[in-house]
Structure 1
Amino acid sequence: MAILAAAIPAVLWSAGRLLPSFPRLAGATPLRGLMVVAGAMLAFCAMTLPGLAGLLPAEAVRGFFYDAAVMLVVCLLLVFEGLLLLAARPGCGDAEPASAVGRMRAALFLFMLAEELSRSFLPLYARELYTPVPGLSETMMMGLPIGLFMALVAVFTPFAGHWADRFGSRRTLLLGTLPAVAGFIGTAMAGSMAELLLWRGACALGYAVMFIGAQGFVARHTPADRRARGMAQFVAAVIVAGLCGAPLGGILADQFGYRATFAVSALLALAAAAAVTLLPADRTERVRQHPFRMGDATALLANPRFLALLLFSSVPTKLMLTGYLFYLVPVSLHAAGETPAGIGRLMMTYGLIIVLLGPWVSKVADRTGRHALFAGLGGLVGGAGTLAILQEQGVAGILIGIAALGVAHAFNNATQLALVPEVCRADCARMGDSSVFAVYRLLERGGSVIGPLLAAAIADRFGAQAALVALGALGMLCGTAFCVVFLLAPSASPAAGEAVR
């Protein structure tokens, strides 16, 4: 892999020296630049693999090929992010919103990539640090770092929004990177489970602050008619980082170990901090937002259709993400003999499906206005797919479940958000859209907290296989209940939820 990484820039540099017009032609469009990198990597693999086949066992050659394919996809995405950063470099257009948002995307991408590197092996790292604790089994402790991280993100999010309003987006973004850098360094050096939980808590603080600060930066640096495109940049940075992080982190963990991979995460978070310092100050006056109050959550939970959306779609979606994908998949695949690199490759399927299918689903759902239909289908597909483990044992069944979860969340992610103002029209008029979405996001994260803890509890008592089946059955039941409420018994009017109250 090191030879491959060194050969690609060497080939491109040589081509640039021999043909001075080559860099200009190759960089004319992002797609052309990506095609050049892909062609160089494929040519290198074509020259290398025949020689390796005669020297190494077939399994080793297969592993090299898989890692090369993953590196191809990751390098393409990294090159594309680099091209976007170059397009947003400071200059004469420094005051333009697109330039500011483009540089924010680079900082957010680096930060999210730092967090995603450990996605394929965090439970396995926690197991290495486990020491017997009365009342807590090894299986439960393996899920605790994920559950604690998600819980603290939910706790810190309202404070992060307040800090963004008070100090401005750039200072808030910088504030988010600092505890994350310390958290990654501490995680790499952790000698006990208590230390691991402490430093993962620091990472959770950084994640919450960075997430909210980036959203606020987009809102303050884009005019109203470009805000959707600005938020698309925000979402794209998170998705691309997730797509690259798990496989890349798995390869690093295989080659250098878990602790070294966390050290790389610290360097990426530090690079994100450097990128934040290059961002412009807020262009618009800071506005005090409606503060979060428990009464807001109580009022929304009194809306039966909002409650149904939350319990039967939004919370199960997060629960399956953290419980199934983040916890059970690494643990089960490791038990099946997969390395962290192999786990990362398989988990990459989830992100690829969302990237390919998500935009199409959003367009069709918006065009038809059938957001509830797509959200219901997503729940059913996710639940049914994860139950494939009953028919196909081992890695194949888990891969089917990962792919089904990708399809489900491609259906759910955009349509759930579109349903919130539809079922809460009166609440949005009374409280404001921002407050409604803030409460929704906070309550939705409950599924992220419950997911790994529930999966670990079931796996501890009945085994990982039973936990996979239990979460799939839960997804099916919730998807069916959602369809009954929203498709078989739709509200008679937009104000139906208000009338019930």
Structure 2
Amino acid sequence: MCLELIMQSNSVARPRVSLPILAISSILLYSLLICGKFYEAMAADLSFSAAQVVMSGVRDHLAAVAGLISAAFAAIALLFPSVLRRAGTTPLRALMTVASAMLACGAGTLPRLAGLLPDEAVQGFLTDGAVLLVVCLLLTFEGLLLLAARPSRGEARPASEAASAVACMRAALFLFMLAEELSRSFLPLYTRDLYTPVAGLSETLMMGLPIGLFMFLVAVFTPFAGAWADRFGSRRTLLLGTLPAVAGFAGTAMAGSLVELLLWRSACALGYAVMFIGAQGFVARHTPADRRARGMAQFVAAVIVAGLCGAPLGGILADQFGYRATFAVSALLALAAVAAVTLLPADRVERVQRHPFRIADARALLANPRFLALLMFSSVPTKLMLTGYLFYLVPVSLHAAGETPAGIGRLMMTYGLIIVLLGPWVSRVADRTGRHALFAGLGGLVGGAGTLAILQEQGVAGTLIGIAALGVAHAFNNATQLALVPEVCRADCARMGESSVFAVYRLLERGGSVIGPLLAAALADRFGIQAALVALGVLGMLCGTAFCAVFLLAPSASPTAGEAAR
């Protein structure tokens, strides 16, 4: 989906000015991050005073390289403006132009800096350099898409304004999700620092509590956020709903106890639910029916790209400045998202008749055995593995293996990269063949089997294999599970409405997100981290096998077989 967006035909606004600014900003950010990583590696081998002397020369070198490339861009803008105009005809060409400048910066700095490090630190430093290059390019990617969304001359004015509004909404969504993702690689570790003994609750259990509480409150707030967006409009709802999250991030940075942390994370959960639902509703209202899929693709891509950037970038910030400073950066990003929301056009409020959630609706759906099997053997385990394995056990186990937050974030980035590369292909093949259940079943088996690699490969290697396997599994699962819902609930969709069925499904599915970190923490507390990793892998395998038995080995002749039973 990202490739489809980046290859759109719109030209970048004012490429003669915007491209040099973006390129220079990216190079400066990249140089700053590389400088921080180099100092971290150097300080581990030298004394403070010796490291400061070396860093003085390194800063001069980085400044010279960045200045040279920036001067080259400025010269091209002044002497050969047509080159930049041609480079800005599409976001893809513009990104390649910026990428070439950043590659030149990396080639001019990384080898020389690596030569100053001890041999055992070179590989890690070069890997960090490559990851930071990808992160900076993804940040540039977001800026280019926003610059390419200006109204086009040959396009109808309403369509152009709608495209520009969706792009602005994507920018706000990206900034907010990036703020949330910055803490992904170290939140359990930060929780441990604030832990004080509580009777009956161990440190391991309490480390998983903020994630579980956050997911629970997101599930609770989501229906209210949807109702507020329908009643007051997405823009107004986003403005009022995301401000508590700004305070939540700032309060998390200053939390002095675990109770305070839970309180402020609850405010972040409110903002997350409002932003997620409000942005989705805004995109739906501002895209015509024939462009709805492309509009939603922007929504999904913003969340994925934020996840790719957030974990490694947040890990680096935590290593350099500490956990609290990183949450302060999250507060600033959330505030920038609120500022971006103020630039959105006011969307019209539609007085739609919403079907309120009723317990009877959930009971009716749960009486459908194939819907229950989809929920219990695929959807809930998928969310459970995401929050329990990836969000909780991975940071804790990698930290125990000696990895820093930056290293943890770099490894967790593998999950998002696999979904971005594999997800669109899986969706197309599944739609073309109509075998959604097959791909969902394969995803469950791959995820469970991959996380069991820890039995053969101890430490970082086994955990990385598990992260990659989970990325493959969720690339197979995420879209195919949603496609299966109307297939197994045709009669329910006809009676209740498809939106209501999906609302109940989403609410029940989020139960896995809540249970995941609490179950993982309980297992780790009772049996140890290694055993918890294995237990979740076995659970994933069992659920995947049960799903295949229901949907593949014993396929129903009618998706509504459950209705007859009622």
Pairwise TM-score range, normalised by the shorter structure: over 0.9
TM-fit CA distance, 1:25: 2.6
- Contact 1:239/1:351, CA 8 A, preserved across alignment: yes
- Contact 1:11/1:40, CA 8 A, preserved across alignment: no
Task: Tell me if 1:214 matches 2:285.
Answer: no
Structure 2 CA distance, aligned partners of 1:2 and 1:85?
19
Task: Tell me if 1:261 matches 2:326.
Answer: yes
TM-fit CA distance, 1:78: 1.2
Greater Rg by CA:
2
Paired AA for residue 4 in structure 1: S
The structure-2 alpha-carbon separation of the partners of 1:61 and 1:22, relative to structure 1 and needing over 3 Å to count, comes to: farther
- Map 1:8-27; keep pairs closer than 5 Å: 12-27=73-88
- Contact 1:377/1:479, CA 8 A, preserved across alignment: yes
Structure 1 CA distance, aligned partners of 2:450 and 2:289?
40
Find the residue that maps to 2:81 and give its secondary structure: coil
Paired AA for residue 249 in structure 2: F
Larger deviation: 103-112 or 280-289?
Answer: 280-289
TM-fit CA distance, 1:124: 0.6
- Contact 2:230/2:349, CA 8 A, preserved across alignment: no
Structure 1 CA distance, aligned partners of 2:435 and 2:141?
33
Structure 2 CA distance, aligned partners of 1:2 and 1:79?
11
Structure 2 CA distance, aligned partners of 1:223 and 1:117?
34
Q: 1:169 aligns with which of 231, 234, 251?
A: 234
> What CA deviation, in whole Å up to 9, does each residue of 1:21-62 have, x standing for no partner?
332232222122222222222222222233223322123333
* Count of residues in Structure 1 that have an aligned counterpart in Structure 2: 501
Structure 2 CA distance, aligned partners of 1:476 and 1:441?
23
Find the residue that maps to 1:21 and give its secondary structure: helix
Q: 1:107 aligns with which of 172, 176, 186?
A: 172
* 1:273 corresponding residue in structure 2: 338
TM-fit CA distance, 1:215: 1.3
> What CA deviation, in whole Å up to 9, does each residue of 1:390-415 have, x standing for no partner?
00111000000000000000000000
Task: Among all aligned residue pairs of Structure 1 and Structure 2, give the percentage whose two residues are the same amino acid.
Answer: 86
- Map 1:398-413; keep pairs closer than 5 Å: 398-413=463-478
- Map 1:399-478; keep pairs closer than 5 Å: 399-478=464-543
* Structure 2 unpaired stretches of 5+: 1-27, 33-62
- Contact 1:459/1:465, CA 8 A, preserved across alignment: yes
- Contact 1:89/1:99, CA 8 A, preserved across alignment: yes
TM-fit CA distance, 1:220: 1.3
Structure 2 CA distance, aligned partners of 1:151 and 1:352?
27
Q: Segments of 4+ in structure 1 off by > 6 A?
A: 90-94
> What CA deviation, in whole Å up to 9, does each residue of 1:319-358 have, x standing for no partner?
0000000000000000101011100010000000000000
The structure-2 alpha-carbon separation of the partners of 1:104 and 1:412, relative to structure 1 and needing over 3 Å to count, comes to: same
Q: 1:4 aligns with which of 20, 31, 48?
A: 31
- Contact 2:30/2:136, CA 8 A, preserved across alignment: no
Paired AA for residue 417 in structure 1: L
* 1:81 corresponding residue in structure 2: 142
TM-fit CA distance, 1:283: 4.2
Task: Tell me if 1:48 matches 2:75.
Answer: no
TM-fit CA distance, 1:300: 0.7
CA RMSD in angstroms, aligned pairs only: 1.7
TM-fit CA distance, 1:431: 0.7
- Contact 1:119/1:245, CA 8 A, preserved across alignment: yes
> What CA deviation, in whole Å up to 9, does each residue of 1:345-398 have, x standing for no partner?
100000000000000000000000000000000000000000000001110000
Structure 2 CA distance, aligned partners of 1:75 and 1:286?
42
* 2:99 corresponding residue in structure 1: 38
Structure 2 CA distance, aligned partners of 1:480 and 1:170?
44
TM-fit CA distance, 1:286: 3.7
TM-fit CA distance, 1:310: 0.3
The structure-2 alpha-carbon separation of the partners of 1:287 and 1:401, relative to structure 1 and needing over 3 Å to count, comes to: same
- Contact 1:313/1:482, CA 8 A, preserved across alignment: yes
Paired AA for residue 455 in structure 1: A
Paired AA for residue 316 in structure 1: P
- Contact 2:442/2:476, CA 8 A, preserved across alignment: yes
Q: 1:191 aligns with which of 256, 261, 264?
A: 256
TM-fit CA distance, 1:280: 1.1
TM-fit CA distance, 1:67: 2.0
- Map 1:294-373; keep pairs closer than 5 Å: 294-373=359-438
TM-fit CA distance, 1:166: 1.1
Larger deviation: 426-435 or 174-183?
Answer: 174-183
The structure-2 alpha-carbon separation of the partners of 1:159 and 1:2, relative to structure 1 and needing over 3 Å to count, comes to: closer
Paired AA for residue 480 in structure 1: T
> What CA deviation, in whole Å up to 9, does each residue of 1:189-212 have, x standing for no partner?
111100100000000000011111
* 1:69 corresponding residue in structure 2: 130
Structure 1 CA distance, aligned partners of 2:72 and 2:190?
38
TM-fit CA distance, 1:87: 2.0
Q: What's the TM-score once normalised by structure 2's chain length?
A: 0.86
* 1:500 corresponding residue in structure 2: 565
- Contact 1:308/1:482, CA 8 A, preserved across alignment: yes
The structure-2 alpha-carbon separation of the partners of 1:266 and 1:12, relative to structure 1 and needing over 3 Å to count, comes to: farther
Structure 2 CA distance, aligned partners of 1:143 and 1:22?
53
> What CA deviation, in whole Å up to 9, does each residue of 1:295-335 have, x standing for no partner?
11111111111000000000000000000000000000001
Structure 1 CA distance, aligned partners of 2:328 and 2:79?
38
* Structure 1 unpaired stretches of 5+: none
